[in-house]
Amino acid sequence: MGKPLSNILVKIFVAGFYRVHGGILFFLFLVLFGLVEPNQLLSYHTALMLAFITSPLMMAVVFGVWLLYTFKCWHYMAEQIYSQHQQFLFYGSTSYTKQKQFKAWFVVQAAVSLPVLAYAGVSIGVAVYHHYLLSALCILAYLILIVALSAWFYTQLVNRLIDGSRASFLLRFTQKWKKPYFSLYIYQVFDKLKVTYLITKFLSYLIINGVFLLFADVSHDTRVAAIAILAIAVAHAILIFQERSFEETYLIFTKNLPYGKFELFASFIAVYALLLLPEAVWLFTRFSPLIALGLFSFGISIIMLFHCLLYPFGLDMEKYMTWVLGLFVGLFWLVMFKLLWWLIPAIILMAYIIKPPNPLERDY
């Protein structure tokens, strides 16, 4: 009874999370443990963990998978926090100090991350046993970071006031400005999704530094920068999903406007180019203009593919994140095989083909 808030949040959110995601977690368990002969299970996973511990490439891939799992947690938690039957949280939990709220949400995130924490804990044990102490510390620090970041994110969501009676300063300041179609989601981001945007940019910063630290001996290789851009695109998966949700919720009227497919596609490129401006500044200050432009185009092409996948999938986060993970792994190896410059036009063409035309599209 010493931690009533933690107990309540765990009962509300953790059980529901595993009830909703139990099927896919069981499937992943079967993939990891059910497809290997029992007498080979220990040696197989020991070798797998050693590969993860000793190879910066494998560590980057595994960290990326854990990040995607964390994104799924964020999506579920945000939906539950803002659902009508959880509104009491905005009054009950906020009576506690933010420090106590943070601790309670830290426990919740650790509980929903048990599959990741269990595997990571064994990996840390294997790393220590084989004297890879730096790898063990990296894994531990990464786990603490993503759990703490999640707890901070949930604390911010719960403490955000729900009051639509007054427009924000941004909307009041820009109310007389002309707002082109492509700019509408930008206003939404800086009005309602500031926390998500800042977290995404913080992840981008960590990715840039982490990837170049892991590949310090070959940091001059363009493939290293391409891997960083690929990971950054994955880090923007939630913002991309939110854009499609915003489009379906608030911009549904555009289906009745004579916007052509190419015009809409170009407007979304403009949206994501603006959202990626901090990363663009980094690229153009670190690389030659031509290389920087190519890498930036690579990032935009991946993000556009993620965006366009949501048209056939609908707003199905589970299916979307599964494809994002699959594309991340596939594109990672294609980059390693030096196919970067071929991928840019191929991916952007694929995204354009997937995007459906506007219902009222017509030629002029």
* Coil vs helix vs strand at 275: helix
The pLDDT averaged over each successive group of 10 residues in the chain (364 residues) is 70 80 63 55 71 80 82 81 65 74 89 87 87 88 91 82 50 67 80 78 80 73 89 89 85 71 89 92 91 94 94 85 88 90 94 80 47
Do 328 and 210 form a contact (C-beta atoms < 8 A)? Answer: no
- Residues 6+ positions from 68 with CB-CB distance below 8 Å: 234, 237, 321, 324, 325, 328
- Residues 6+ positions from 165 with CB-CB distance below 8 Å: none
Q: Where are the domains of the chain?
A: 1-162, 166-364
The alpha-helical segments, DSSP class H, found in the chain are 4-9, 15-29, 41-54, 56-81, 89-92, 98-112, 114-129, 133-159, 169-173, 184-192, 194-214, 222-235, 237-250, 261-275, 277-286, 289-313, 317-336, 340-354
Whole-number pLDDT of residue 363: 44
pLDDT in tens, 124-151: 888 888 888 888 898 899 999 999 999 9
Calculate the alpha carbon distances from 35 to 79, 210, 305 in Å: 34, 33, 32
80 — phi, psi (to 5°)?
Answer: -70, -40
Whole-number pLDDT of residue 96: 77
Calculate the alpha carbon distances from 326 to 178, 256, 321, 323, 332 in Å: 40, 34, 8, 5, 10
Whole-number pLDDT of residue 66: 84
pTM of the predicted model, to two decimals? 0.62
| C-alpha radius of gyration, the chain, whole number | 22
Whole-number pLDDT of residue 349: 96
Whole-number pLDDT of residue 169: 54
Look up tokens 């044990």; give the residue.
Answer: 125
Nearest alpha-carbon partner for 260 in 142, 111, 134, 361:
361
